[in-house]
Amino acid sequence: MESAYKKKNEIARSPTLQTVLMVEKFIDENSGEYTKTQIFQNLPKKVMWQTFQVIMEYLENINKIAYDRKGYVVYIWNPKFAAKYKNRDDLTWKGK
């Protein structure tokens, strides 16, 4: 059984949609210019480190960001490319 402290701490790190979108937009506009720590330090609004970590992991897991060899964060999501392949009959998508 989890402790009440751990549950409270996990809830405290849960980002709002607004915060996720702010971080994503910053990365999109500055793709390849900053490392993870530099992004955290230059965000338009301050975010707790733990919350920022959750957001970065989420964006990486949904294939919106990647890290280059030097540790710079690159925005890799391409909605036009995704839409093009989503409509192909020879591909199967879970969302269809």
What pLDDT, in 10s, does the model give residues 23-73?
A: 999 999 999 999 999 999 999 999 999 999 999 999 999 999 999 999 999
Q: Based on the number of CB atoms within 10 Å of its own CB, is 39 exposed (0-12), middle (13-18) or buried (19 or more)? A: buried
DSSP assigned state of 77: -
Residue 37 sits at φ, ψ, to 5 deg, of -65, -40
The verdict on pTM exceeding 0.95 is no
Domains (range + CATH), the chain: 15-86 (1.10.10)
